[in-house]
């Protein structure tokens, strides 16, 4: 599908999934506005994307900054919010099981994962052109019961519930959610010791996946968990689910 003439805003587009999305959009003819906190990462993303790219410095945790950002960006067709659940590697270390996660970290998770999409939806809406869309990102925590992620699971579920309601209220604008599996990005590479291993432990070997296809069920065995974690994107787009 050609995206020629579309202007796409990617909040968290200077790294990982957002950067890959920006490159794919430009390859299809769109122009992109990439926002993030680090000027260095933005410059590097701008260089990698190569054409039809603007960069903006933004800390999306501040609602006033989000509002000023959208006012400065002006009219656009689509916005994607791809900012991580916690602000930095230090905060990520305290994301644990329910009993071991400090209240402060729980509040950080909810504030980052839930409130940022709220700010973006609120302030992007009036700048979106007819036919436009808002896309949030969640993950697999609320579907898979992953160790260490009860609050992330709760926040992801809340974002999906919000998106359903906004889709109704904002129509004919579209509001949607992408829920990826495990994707190799700087975020995943920086996970604290133990977290990544716990996620990897859920990834099943190819032979067991073949077994899962053969049965065609949606059971709770490690095969099903692993395959959908690894291939979450394809599964969501109709490959298996
Ligand atoms: N990778 C996975 O396996 C996976 C799976 C499921 C869901 N997700 C979700 O996908 C999204 C992107 O993840 P990723 O793996 O691509 O992460 P990433 O490579 O770390 O990219 C995160 C992007 O968000 C920006 N960012 C961080 N804090 C920000 C803030 N306060 N305001 C504005 N921008 C901010 C970062 O730039 P600066 O740091 O310079 O601000 C960067 O551009 C996240 O919401 C993540 O939870 C990832």
What per-residue confidence (pLDDT) applies to 204?
54
Strand ordering across the sheet containing 128-137:
53-57, 31-36, 7-11, 76-81, 128-137, 174-178
Assess whether the C-beta atom of 57 lies below 6 angstroms from ligand 1.
no
Predicted structure pTM score: 0.86
Whole-angstrom distance, CA of residue 149 vs CA of residue 85: 11
What per-residue confidence (pLDDT) applies to 26?
97
Residue ranges of domains in the chain, CATH in brackets: 7-191 (3.40.50.720), 202-241 (no CATH)
What per-residue confidence (pLDDT) applies to 147?
84
Neighbours of 133 (CB within 10 A): 17
Distance of CA 16 from the midpoint of ligand 1 (Å): 7
What per-residue confidence (pLDDT) applies to 58?
97
Whole-angstrom distance, CA of residue 73 vs CA of residue 81: 15
Assess whether the C-beta atom of 179 lies below 6 angstroms from ligand 1.
no
What per-residue confidence (pLDDT) applies to 222?
32
Reported as a single tens digit per residue, the pLDDT across 78-97 is 999 999 998 888 888 899 99
Q: Which residues of the chain are under the pLDDT cut of 70? A: 201-241
Assess whether the C-beta atom of 139 lies below 6 angstroms from ligand 1.
yes
CA-proximal residue: ligand 1, atom 2 (nearest):
183
Check: CB of residue 129 under 8 Å from CB of residue 77: yes
Q: At what angle do helices 116-124 and 150-170 cross, to 10 degrees?
A: 20
Q: Which of 216, 209, 207, 187 is nearest to 199 (CA)?
A: 187
Reported as a single tens digit per residue, the pLDDT across 47-69 is 999 999 999 999 999 999 999 99
Check: CB of residue 203 under 8 Å from CB of residue 230: yes
Assess whether the C-beta atom of 60 lies below 6 angstroms from ligand 1.
yes
What per-residue confidence (pLDDT) applies to 194?
74
């Amino acid at each position: 599908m050609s995206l020629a003439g579309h202007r796409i805003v990617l909040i968290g587009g200077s790294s990982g999934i957002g950067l890959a999305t920006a490159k794919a959009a430009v390859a299809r003819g769109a122009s992109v506005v990439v926002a993030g906190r680090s000027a260095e990462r933005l410059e590097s993303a701008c260089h990698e994307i190569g054409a039809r790219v603007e960069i903006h410095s933004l800390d999306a945790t501040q609602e006033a900054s989000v509002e000023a950002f959208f006012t400065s960006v002006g009219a656009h067709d689509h916005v994607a919010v791809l900012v991580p659940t916690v602000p930095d590697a230090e905060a990520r270390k305290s994301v644990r099981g329910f009993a071991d996660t400090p209240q402060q970290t729980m509040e950080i998770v909810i504030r980052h994962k839930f409130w940022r999409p709220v700010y973006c939806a609120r302030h992007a809406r009036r700048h979106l052109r007819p036919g436009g869309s808002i896309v949030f990102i969640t993950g697999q925590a609320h579907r898979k019961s992953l160790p260490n992620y009860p609050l992330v699971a709760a926040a992801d579920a809340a974002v999906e519930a919000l998106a359903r309601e906004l889709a109704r209220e904002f129509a004919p604008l579209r509001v949607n959610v992408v829920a990826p599996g495990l994707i190799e990005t700087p975020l995943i590479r920086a996970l604290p010791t133990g977290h990544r291993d716990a996620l990897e432990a859920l990834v099943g070997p190819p032979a067991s996946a073949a077994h899962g296809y053969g049965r065609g069920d949606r059971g709770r065995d490690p095969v099903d968990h692993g395959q959908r974690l690894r291939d979450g994107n394809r599964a969501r787009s109709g490959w298996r689910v």
